[in-house]
Amino acid sequence: MSEENISTGRDSLWSKSRRKLMRDRAGVAAMIVVGVYGLIAILVYLGLIGENWSTLGEEGFGGMSSEHWFGTNINGQDIFSRAIQGIKTAFEVGLVVAVTATAIGGILGAIAGYFHRTIIDEVIMWLYGCIDAIPFYLFVAAVAFSLKGTELQPWGMHIAMIATFWSSTCRIVRGEVIKIRGLEYIQAAKAVGVGPLTIVRRHVMPNTTHILLVQSTIAFVGAIKSEVILTFLGLGVVDGVSWGTMLSESTSDVLRGHFGNFLGASGFLFVLVIAFNMFADALQDALDPKKVSS
Amino acid sequence: MRGISPPRSHLMMLFRTINLVTCLASVLLLTTCKRPFSDRAQDLSVFRFSENGAPVTMDPVQSATQYANLMTTSIYDQLYEYKYLARPYELKPRLAEAMPEVSEDGLTYTYRIKKGILFADNECFPAGKGREVTANDFVYSMRRLFDPKARSQGAWLWQGKIKGLDEWKEEGADYSKSIEGLKALDDYTIQIILNKPFPQLTYTFAMGFSSVTPREAVEYYGKEFGLNPVGSGPYKLKSFSTKKAILVRNENYREEIFSLEEEGYDPKTQSGFGLERLEGKKLPIMDTTEVYFMEESMTRWNSLNKGTEIHFGGIPTELTHMVAEELNPLVLKPKYAEKFTAMNLPDLGTVYLYLNMSDPKIGHHSDPEQNRRNLLLRKAISAAYDWPQRSRRFYNGTAALFPGTIPPGLDGYDEAFTPEMTEPDYEKAKAYLKEGGWNADNLPVLDYNGTASVQNKQMYEQFRGWMEKIGYPRKKIPYVSFATFGDFNKAVKQRNCTLIGMAWGLDYPDAENVLQLFYGPNGSPGSNSSNFNDPAYNEMFEKSVVMQPGPERTEIYKKLNQIIIDDVPAVCGISRNTPFIWHKNVVFLPSRNPHGSLFKYALVFDESDDQ
Amino acid sequence: MSESTSKPVLSIQDLVVEFKTEAGLIRALDGVSFDVQEGEALGIVGESGCGKSVTALSILKLIPSPPGRIAGGSIKLDDIDVVNQPDDEMRKVRGSLASMIFQEPMTALNPVFTIGNQMVEIIRVHQKVSKAEAKRQAIEMLRTVNIESPEQRIDQYPHELSGGMRQRVMIAMALSCSPKLLIADEPTTALDVTVQAQVMEEINRLQREMNMGLILITHDLGVIAESCTRVVVMYCGKIIEMAETEELFRNPRHPYTRGLLDSIPRIREKKLETLPIIEGMVPDLANLPKGCRFADRCPKAEDHCRESEPPLEDTESGGKVACFIPN
Amino acid sequence: METLQFALRKLLYSVPLLFGVTFISFFLMVYHGPDLTYTILGKNPTPEQIAEVHRELGYDQPFLKRYFLFLKEIITFDFGSSISSGEKVSSILKKSVPVSFMVALPAFILSNALGIILALYAANHRGKKNDKIIMVMAAGGMSVSFLMVVIAFQIMFCTSYGLVDWFPVQGWISPPPDYPDATTGEILYYYWYYYWSHVTVPTLASVFVALGYNTRFFRAVIVEELNKDYVRTARAYGVSNRKIMIKHVLKNALIPISTRIIITIPFVIIAGNLVVEKFFGIPGVGLVTYDAITNGDLPIVKAVVTSTAVLYVIALILTDIVYKMIDPRTSYNQ
């Protein structure tokens, strides 16, 4: 999907979208916030900041201070550092799930749409129909369990989310591809003997990119939010810290009157998710050629 | 909904409507805020007890949990029981007439049971009338523990100990065959012949596992026998759900009168509980005992505070500082002291961090040099382990701290031990590591295993923090989590875990029960989760188990305990205290597994009578 | 302005309608003025986007707001000041005093209600009658627009009718409360050619019979020629020419009008020649040129055409034109 | 009759779906699920006992044989008894399903009803300030984690740190105390009182979280309808705004709205709201199932998965029927 593959007509659509996005002030602000988070995630990943998240303090449940901005937890660990660590975890979960799920959904959706009304389409539709019929959390629990004892165990949560998140992308891409497939120029390309793979690559893929982009932002947010719940249920992040582990800890903290974990984790989570949601909205507006400002 | 009028008012109207609805709802709730049954005079014939977990079944052979044991010991008779008030725990006859007659060689035990004891009336009996309990019922019940169909959780207690019983199981558990070591000599006499001496045998007959069960009931109820228990105890089960069980007086129950002296009353430590009121009362005192199973500590606490919804509960750890003036010993704040009585109940058990000795990274090693280095590593871990901090942060600072595996109060505990001995010494730990040539690069990866609960993870982080202090790289102590205890247990039983945080509750008050945890042949899937296998320890342990209590055995126990401390197959130890709390007009003294059959002593009295 | 004695049923003065878009504020209508007399049929022509439909919607105050808004001028509908009329007063006007027929009979009817249901609803909005009476009126109205067996048709759903039939239903609905003004916005564009004439004939017949004012919006000059007495030509939100139909066809003043007329294929001519087209593109409403809006495409444009906008001025033949160099 | 035929035909078509769901569930939850043996056997099992229980529970059987046994259970709809308690699965579900349903119901109704009301309002004022306020609030609501809301609401309504300390932190209606002279009224009041005291905070939290999503979705659907030509037509003929909204737009919008609502019903009835149940300690079917999955109590897992799948298929059919009822353009023969 490099630039060369995209015709000049599309190219102008892309640059138009970019211009549209840049004009959306809320969208730009959201993008900056997401960018800052991403930067922090990289710094944490490189071990440059937030490294003292595991150091025990002398006394537990310290209040807010210049040293500990959000106070300390039961183990006297610095909650701010842990919240920062949580950014890294969130990006890791979000990126892995979003990229993989959208890729799988996009590919399967394109295949299903292209082979519309064949057995391949039926099988793919059947597959996501089945996944949709199983309650999400039970499915995740089941996936997590079936991976117990294998090398994939630490990735159980990711795999479970990917296994459920691809279906919505697949459904949308399939619909779009069915529409594109009916278009005249594709029919023409087919008539002159262009192979199906070339058609998918040259015509179908570029026309569904905006869907994939938007879907991956949705999956990113979905993954981050699901992580919190899954960790609370004991199915999520095992090693390290995540906002999910912090919120889980906070359930008993708040009854003792300590709100550091809760405020730290939920503050960081809320800002990231709302920024990402706004960014996704702006992206959707910018990429939708039909949409005029409401 | 018109565009032209000021839009604000519409939004306001919308919100006002929503507001109104919620207000109405809450007003409805508030004005009718009268608690149900709050105007009712207290029902003085019901004791409402609560537990923080529910039994899955009340089949005696599966009564491994404290919750199940409490139920089975109230519904069924065992041969013996613990005195209500004696601390440390002391046995007294229950269904048995007296303490057993033991042969010289300590292998043959004769138990005589009381005559005229009836099972509770139940439809499984002819005409629904409970028949007399005989020695054969006991024999049947013991066999059932070894019957694979019954899925017993308690057979291990007697495994290999009663002559012919294991063979009987292997030959297909045919109830028509006789067993040499387990016989009813007549309707009221039981004879047990052991393969080797087992001085704790009589203790095991106070456990819920050894409840006397009528065969008719097992056969009549089949799979659902566990939900339809039939016994000869003070209570019978009226109804059961995972949230609540109702026990009502067994009308067929024998005449049993409470006596402070017989129950081992100690006025020095037990005078504040109103136990004197019980003197001379016929047991069970209350017609009905309702047991509420409330897993969530906050639910239980709320319920306790709602008046008489429950009489007895616990103080959630999150709230102890709000409720208690002092924690050790427990003193309530005046606001609560007006309404409640409370005490810290020590656990009869200990908490460990097992180090899997079958893991060559850290445990036994065929290469003596590596073996030595591993020992130093274990010693370093033990030296860095901060039990007092663990107690402060997770157990309100009230836990009993001691080195070794034998908790204070048991025969074999070294009186010279002090809690200070469990304090960490990081310098010493580092020295051990240095001595063993360990450094950040060559230290092995140690997986820490536990269930996925928040508290377990916090304890893990605390442990990792201690290890960081002695220079252990953070990444080398990963957490392996399990969604349930069963799953965790499976991994432990399959020797897949390196560091294992676990607790052990004693089955009877004898140090043998904790020392067997390190006896080599008991290795996983047996109870020896550390898979410690030391020939010297094994030999000494084998010697001790066949000994009758006495100074000689005490000495051996102390030596065994010292081996555990020196070889560090487990980092120990701590014994938790749980704060319990109950209404002022209730006379009840909580106790711990294996002490069951507590409900029959409970009394709810009318406070106004006192004034 | 021959019938200047009779009262105009519609009078628009200097109407300005603005839309907020991403490209900024645009003027969809910029100073539009015209009258419609009782019983008169007025045609509005122009390319798409010239403001024809906006004009129609403004008359009934149906401009979607936001983003649109009537920014100036006045609309008098039979003495009612539309611009300042509160919305629910305006509601009473719609369908009864002035009514409208839309282009797409496929989508303009609600697919999930029977046509009877929708007609009855409209009748009952404007008249206090029982359901049964409203239904009787609806059947009567369907009969008036020449729908066969209206008693059965009335219980059918829109998708069960043909395109022409649906448009007749629309007409019946529009006329069910005998409006004084009927606005027909491209009423035949979406129909089969064979049906177009029938429907147009129906509209004309009813307009005459009911003596309504009619505004016929179309880009098809042929339709105008057959149905309208007067024509308004719009370009980029402005009226550029207004004249009696015959006069306009015979002698178009504005170069744009001329261009439009030239692009009509003339069937009578034996040989098919390449039709002349108007060169260039309609300017973007957000970036209008300084002078005449048509200047860039105008074959006759001179320098001053690009400097200032020509005003709409009376012509000697009684029409109006906005051009510095009219024919 | 036509509807029934249609439903039956649809049901027949959904057999592959049911098959797939049960197969996936079987593969993940049953075949690869946790091993209950160690829970059953307590702290000190012997290898022989482990082997015995394995045999008895059928863990040692080959995959296909176990799957066919499962299929047989599905067809007879008899899943036997819970392995851990011996209680009949049907009786476990009979107890827990109504609890879940009662917990989820108020939130389900409120979040959808309020969602539709707010969406109608916002759509009606689309582009104006109030619409924007509502949409920003919806975006905010969508950006909080359910866990955050639950914890925050718990602080606000259930602890002395918050606004009011009215509601219990956790729990569910315990059986009423056994007063022999309690009147029916008193007992009903008992249930009524504790029902609301346990269900209010979960409901508020669930509504808070779901409302953003619902409003946004419903608004999008309604706005799309509002842009349709028939709305302009109705307006041009003087139909009032209110009537356009309530009658014309809503009926058309009801197609996607009802699809969304109906599809969630099986999950409300059977799957329960696991997070609510776990956090508030409510013994609903979500928690029961979750415990069964994590423990490996297979009969319960099988029963719940099968029932959910069947209900899901029924819901799918129901949406089709509703679709056909609302939209005359589609017929049963298509």
Whole-number Å distance between alpha carbons of D331 and D334: 6
- Which of residues C128, C162, C178 is at a domain's end? C178
Q: What's residue C266's pLDDT?
A: 61
> B462 and chain A: CB distance < 8 Å anywhere?
yes
My answer on whether C154 and C303 are in the same domain is no
Nearest C-alpha in A relative to C65: A294
- Is C263 in the same domain as C236? yes
Over residues B7-35, the pLDDT tens digits come to 445 555 665 666 566 656 655 555 456 77
Which of C178, C208, C223 is the endpoint of a domain?
Answer: C178
Q: Which of B37, B72, B167, B583 should one mutate to test binding to chain D, selecting the residue with the greatest count of D CBs within 10 A?
A: B37
Interface contact B471, partner A, CB < 8 A: no
| pLDDT of D1 | 67
Is residue C2 included in any domain, yes or no?
Answer: no
pLDDT tens digits for range C200-256: 888 888 888 888 888 888 887 888 888 888 888 888 888 888 888 888 888 888 888
Distance (Å, whole) CA B253 – CA B117: 8
Residue C327 domain-assigned (yes or no): no
Winning range, highest mean pLDDT, from B112-116, C129-133, C257-261? B112-116
**Which tokens go with C75?**
């609309």
Let me know whether C113 and C216 are in one domain. no
With a cut of 70, say whether residue B5 has pLDDT above it. Answer: no
Q: Which of B262, B287, B218, B260 is closest to B76 using CA atoms?
A: B218
Whether residues C216 and C71 fall in one domain: yes
pLDDT classification of A224: cutoffs 50, 70, 90? very high
Half-sphere exposure of D161 (CA within 13 A, CB side): 15
Interface test with B, best of D49, D111, D172 (most B CBs within 10 A): D49
Chain C residues with CB under 8 Å of D247 CB are 121
Helix (H) or strand (E) holding B26: helix B7-31
Quick check: is D118 in a domain?
Answer: yes
Q: For B241, what's the count of Cα atoms within 13 Å in the CB-facing half-sphere?
A: 14
Amino acid B54 reads A
Minimal C-alpha gap between D328 and chain C (Å): 6
**Would you state the pLDDT for residue A5?**
40
pLDDT of residue B18: 61
- The verdict on A248 touching B (C-beta cutoff 8 Å) is yes
CB distance B133 to B112 below 8 Å: no
pLDDT at res. B40: 67
The CA distance from B553 to B153, in Å, is: 29
- If asked whether residues C201 and C271 sit together in one domain, one would say yes
pLDDT bucket at D178, cuts 50 / 70 / 90: low
Which pLDDT band, with edges at 50, 70 and 90, does B6 fall under? very low
The shortest C-alpha distance from C72 to chain D (Å) reads 21
Q: Is the pLDDT of residue C83 over 80?
A: yes
Determine, for residues D230 and C91 on separate chains, whether the beta-carbon distance falls below 8 Å: no
Its domain, for residue D217, covers: 89-326
DSSP A223-239: HHHHHHHHHHTT-S--S
| Spacing of C-alpha D53 from chain mean position | 35
Tell me the mean pLDDT in the region B28-57.
75
Residue C270's pLDDT band (boundaries 50, 70, 90)? low
The total number of structural domains in chain D stands at 1
Give the least confident one: B271-280, B455-464, C36-45: C36-45
Answer yes or no: is pLDDT of B586 > 80.
yes
Instruction: Give the CA-trace dihedral at B316, B317, B322, B326, to 10 degrees.
Output: 120
pLDDT digits (tens, 9 = 90+) for B57-84: 899 999 888 899 999 999 999 999 999 9
Q: Which residues of B touch C61 (CB under 8 A)?
A: none
| C67 touches A: beta carbon within 8 Å | yes
**Which band of pLDDT confidence, cut at 50, 70 and 90, is reported for residue B611?**
very low
Query: Shortest CB distance from A130 goes to which of D20, D154, D271?
Result: D20
**Mean pLDDT of the region A123-133:** 88
From the list D97, D66, D98, the residue with the least C-alpha distance to D298 is D66
Residues of C in contact with D235 (CB under 8 A): 60, 62, 94
Q: How far apart are CA D222 and CA D219, in angstroms?
A: 5
Please write the tens of the pLDDT for every residue from B310-369: 899 999 888 888 899 988 889 999 999 999 999 999 888 899 999 999 999 999 999 999
- Taking residues B238-267, what's their average pLDDT? 91
Instruction: Provide the shortest C-alpha distance from residue A21 to chain C (in Å).
Output: 12
**B106 cis-preceded (ω within 30 degrees of 0):** no
What value does the mean pLDDT take over residues A202-231?
Answer: 86
* Residue C4 forms part of a structural domain: no
Domain boundary among C178, C193, C219: C178
Q: Show the 3-state SS of chain C.
A: CCCCCCCEEEEEEEEEEEEEECCEEEEEEEEEEEEEECCCEEEEECCCCCCHHHHHHHHCCCCCCCCEEEEEEEEEECCEECCCCCHHHHHHHECCCEEEECCCHHHHCCCCCCHHHHHHHHHHHHCCCCHHHHHHHHHHHHHHCCCCCHHHHCCCCHHHCCHHHHHHHHHHHHHCCCCCEEEEECCCCCCCHHHHHHHHHHHHHHHHHHCCEEEEECCCHHHHHHHCCEEEEEECCEEEEEEEHHHHHHCCCCHHHHHHHHCCCCCCCCCCCCCCCCCCCCCCHHHCCCCCCCHHHCCCCCHHHHCCCCCCEECCCCCEECCCCCC
Q: Are residues C62 and C172 in the same domain?
A: no
Size of interface A-D (CB pairs under 8 A): 139
pLDDT reported for residue D111: 92
Burial class (CB in 10 A: 0-12, 13-18, 19+), A153: middle
Q: Do the beta carbons of residue B524 and residue B493 sit within 8 Å?
A: yes
Q: Does residue D67 register a pLDDT over 50? A: yes
The boundaries of the domain holding residue C119 are: 107-178
The answer, yes or no, to whether residue C282 has pLDDT greater than 80, is no
Chain C neighbors of B3, CB-CB under 8 A = 65, 87
Q: Residues B389-448: pLDDT tens digits?
A: 999 989 888 899 999 999 988 999 998 999 899 999 999 999 999 999 999 999 999 999
Same domain, C197 and C272: yes
Percent pLDDT > 90 in chain C is: 0
Among B103-112, D85-94, D207-216, name the one with the lowest average pLDDT: D85-94
C58 sits in which H/E element: helix C52-59
Average pLDDT over residues C175-193: 82
Mean pLDDT rounded to a whole number for chain A = 84
Place of tokens 């444009």: C301
Predicted local confidence at residue B371, as pLDDT: 95
Closest-approach residue (CA) in chain C for B3: C87
Residue reference for tokens 């003193």: B331
Query: Which pLDDT does position C310 carry in this prediction?
Result: 83
The reply to whether omega before B267 is within 30° of 0 (cis) is no
Residue D274 inside a domain? The answer is yes
Interface size, chain B vs chain D, as Cβ–Cβ contacts under 8 Å = 167
Higher pLDDT, A105 or A16: A105
For residue B454, pLDDT beyond 80 = yes
Q: Give the span between the Cα atoms of D106 and D158, in whole angstroms.
A: 19
Measured CA to CA in angstroms, residue B535 lies from B358, B529, B538, B540 at distances of 14, 17, 5, 9
Residue A228 or residue C295, greater confidence = A228
- Residue C287, classified by CB atoms within 10 Å of its CB into exposed (0-12), middle (13-18) or buried (19+), is exposed
Among candidates C206, C185, C173, which has minimal Cα distance to D237? Answer: C173
Q: Does the distance separating the beta carbons of C111 and D230 come in below 8 Å? A: yes
Q: Is the pLDDT of residue C272 over 80?
A: no
B529 forms beta bridges with none
pLDDT value, residue C5: 52
CATH code of D128's domain: 1.10.3720.10
Over 80: is that where the pLDDT of C285 sits?
no
Domain containing residue C85: CATH number: 3.40.50.300
Asked if B40 is an interface residue toward chain D (Cβ–Cβ < 8 A), one would say yes
Mean pLDDT, chain B, integer: 89
Same domain, C257 and C187: yes
B41 pLDDT band, cuts 50/70/90, is: low
Kindly state whether residues C127 and C66 are assigned to the same domain.
Answer: no
Token pair in block for residue A26: 């809320």
Closest by Cα among C95, D6, B296 to A255: B296
- Residue C88 at interface with chain B, using a CB cutoff of 8 Å: yes
DSSP state letters, D26-52: IIIIIISSPPTHHHHHTT---HHHHHH
DSSP state of B271: G
The SS3 of residue A59 is: coil
Q: What is the mean pLDDT of residues B193-199?
A: 93
CB contact under 8 A, C107 and D327: no
Does the pLDDT at position C268 exceed 80?
no
One domain, residues C53 and C166:
no
- Between B570 and B6, the more confident residue is B570
Assess if residue D131 is contained within a domain: yes
Number of domains present in the structure of chain C: 2
Q: Where are the alpha helices (DSSP H) in B171-254?
A: 201-204, 215-221
pLDDT exceeds 60 at position C267: no
Mean pLDDT, rounded, of chain C: 82
Query: Is residue A51 less than 8 Å (CB to CB) from chain B?
Result: no
Considering only CB atoms, which chain D residues are within 8 Å of B299? 168-171, 281
Q: What's the pLDDT score for residue A8?
A: 41
Q: Does A17 touch chain C (CB under 8 A)?
A: no
| C67, C202: one domain | yes
Cα(B562)–Cα(B40) distance, rounded to whole angstroms? Answer: 59
Most confident of C281-290, C301-310, D172-181: C301-310
Q: Indicate yes or no: CB of B14 within 8 angstroms of CB of D117.
A: yes
Give D235-250 pLDDT, tens digit per residue. 888 888 888 888 888 8
A97, amino acid identity: V
Taking contacts as CB-CB distances below 8 angstroms, the residues of chain A near B487 are: 148
- Identify the pLDDT of residue B373: 95
Which A residues in the span 157-216 are in contact with B, Cβ-Cβ below 8 Å? none
Is residue C326 a part of any domain in this protein? no
Query: What is the number of other CB atoms lying within 10 angstroms of the CB of residue A152?
Result: 13
Q: Which chains touch C (3 or more CB pairs under 8 A)?
A: A, B, D
User: Distance (Å, rounded) from C-alpha C225 to C-alpha C240?
Assistant: 18
With bands split at pLDDT 50, 70 and 90, how would you rate the model's confidence at A10?
Answer: very low
CB contacts of D133 in chain B (<8 Å) are 11
d(CA B50, CA B300): 7
- The answer to whether residue B285 scores a pLDDT higher than 90 is yes
What are the chain C neighbours of A23 within 8 Å (beta carbons)?
A: 22
Looking at residue A67, what is its pLDDT? Answer: 84
pLDDT for residue B609: 64
Looking at chain D, the whole-number percentage of residues with pLDDT higher than 90 is 7
Q: Are β-strands B499-505 and B448-451 bridged in parallel, bridged antiparallel, or unpaired?
A: parallel
> Which of A93-102, A108-117, C65-74 has the weakest average pLDDT?
C65-74
At B493-506, the pLDDT tens digits run 889 899 999 889 89
Non-local CB neighbours of C59 within 8 Å, separated by 6+ positions = C10, C12, C75, C77, C82, C98, C181, C183, C215
Residue D66 inside a domain? The answer is: no
Q: Does the residue D4 lie in any domain? A: no
ipTM of the shown complex: 0.80
CB contact under 8 A, B4 and C65: no
Task: Report the mean per-residue pLDDT for chain D.
Answer: 84
Structure tokens at B99: 């303490």
Q: Do A266 and D313 touch (CB under 8 A)?
A: no
Residues of chain D found within 8 Å of residue C95, distances taken between Cβ atoms = 236-239
D25 touches chain A (CB under 8 A): yes
Nearest CA among C167, C197, C288, C273 for reference residue C235: C288
- One domain, residues C83 and C121: no
Q: Is residue C102 part of a domain?
A: no
Kindly state whether residue C163 falls inside one of the protein's structural domains. Answer: yes
Inside any domain, residue D300: yes
